[in-house]
Amino acid sequence: MNKHLIAVALATASLTLTSCADESTAQSAPTAQHQPIDVAKVIVKPVQSWHTYTTRLESPQEVALMPRVSGVIDSIEFNEGDLVNKGDVLFQLDNRSFTAKVASLEAQVNSAKAALEQASSEATRAVRLTQRKAISTEQAQARTSTLRQREAQLAALQAQLTSAQLDLEFTSVVSPIDGIISRANITKGNNILAGQSVLTSIVSNEKMYAYFDIDERTWNSSFNDVSAASRQPVVMQKVGQDDFAYSGYINFIDNQINAATGTLRVRAVFADNSGQLRAGSFARIKLAANAITETVIVPDRAIGTDLKNRFVLSVGENNILQYKLVTVGERYGSLRAITAGLTEGDVIAVNGPARVGPGMPISPNTVTIDTSGIAFTLGNSNNQLVAKQ
């Protein structure tokens, strides 16, 4: 009997200990937590469609400077790479032979003037003598002929003198334009040939041109009403830059479509008041279509890729992520236009599918999509200066 009571007591104690252990385990088990994820309501903005083209900058005026007369370089009057103005003396040639020729011709002109004066006097006297029958008609005509010869000789010498004076003036080689000068290709003491020797080059830097080709379909659909007079705005980015920091406008449209390529050549002009633009530089041009549409905007990082599809994760009921196919449009800085798949009021995971996936419950952390400093249209000059790729 005592043995039976002892067994019952042991069994009761064992059940009590097991129950306490189970209760302790249950109390120590952690409660399941949903992953915190940044979410934001999509925004709707008026946007323009952007078209990007590549080009190289060209200067409106480029001069390969050559002398107008042959001679020997006596001095170089500029610093290589400097800004020069129209009319500045750049090269000075040895002008002694030219000066001597001018002096010789001036003397010949003076002699011809004296001979002309004498011939004129004799011709006048011949007219009076002819009236008195003092000389024959043939003699009077001879004096008149001599007068005409002296006039022609003087005119010829004066033309030669003018040419010699121009040659003397051309011994000072001057800049024909305002711009930045390159290095001297030929140095002091070397002989140069008129119209053949390239002394240096000068490039105008007041503004720069950018030529680029727009395909016929794009032009007809987005820019058909654009003319050079409308000064369609564009923005430009140089190599190595993040922003499209230079604003300009279209000032030339070609008069026909290139039948071989199906493109239309246009030209944009950019002012270069700061001297930062150089001819030959590679550049990217962005041109905004005139049509402005209301479009859903999301962060570009919120968009995922699934094989050939693009998608975002939207927040559904009970904070469960849902898979939504989207059609993407233009990029505006760090944001992207969505042309189909989302509507105003949708809430999405702004950091995309990096850590989460469809069907996953989350703990949403609401944030706001930052649009500061990003141009969606070319409506004002401030937007033009901060437009990004």
pLDDT tens across 275-321, in order? 788 999 999 998 887 777 888 888 888 888 888 888 988 888 888 88
CA dihedral sign of residues 374, 379, 381, 382: negative
Most confident region among 227-236, 250-259, 285-294 by mean pLDDT:
250-259
| Average pLDDT of the segment spanning 336-346 | 86
Q: For residue 172, name the pLDDT band (cuts at 50, 70, 90).
A: very high
Backbone angles phi, psi at 111, to 5 degrees: -65, -40
C-alpha 115/C-alpha 147 separation (Å) is 9
What is the reported pLDDT for 364?
A: 83
What is the reported pLDDT for 365?
A: 84
| Average pLDDT of the segment spanning 144-169 | 93
Whole-model pTM?
Answer: 0.66
**Summary mean pLDDT of the chain:** 84
pLDDT at residue 191 greater than cutoff 80: yes
Give the chain's radius of gyration (CA, Å): 44
Full set of structural domains in the chain with CATH: 36-45+294-366 (2.40.420.20), 53-61+205-292 (2.40.30.170), 63-93+172-204 (2.40.50.100), 95-170 (1.10.287)
More confident residue, 382 or 132: 132
Site of tokens 């022609």: 152
What is the reported pLDDT for 255?
A: 93
What is the reported pLDDT for 155?
A: 95
Specify whether the CB–CB gap between 225 and 289 falls below 8 A. no
What is the reported pLDDT for 54?
A: 93
Q: For residue 33, name the pLDDT band (cuts at 50, 70, 90).
A: low
| Average pLDDT of the segment spanning 126-140 | 77
Which residues sit opposite 249 in a β-bridge? Answer: 233, 269
124: amino acid identity, one letter: T
What is the reported pLDDT for 200?
A: 96
What is the reported pLDDT for 348?
A: 84
Q: For residue 167, name the pLDDT band (cuts at 50, 70, 90).
A: very high
Site of tokens 């979410």: 39
More confident residue, 191 or 363: 191
Q: For residue 127, name the pLDDT band (cuts at 50, 70, 90).
A: confident
What is the reported pLDDT for 378?
A: 65
What is the reported pLDDT for 244?
A: 83
77: nearest Cα among 5, 165, 172:
172
The lowest-confidence range among 58-62, 134-138, 253-257 is 134-138
More confident residue, 299 or 177: 177
pLDDT tens across 353-362, in order? 777 888 888 8
What is the reported pLDDT for 388?
A: 42
Element holding 182 (H helix, E strand): none
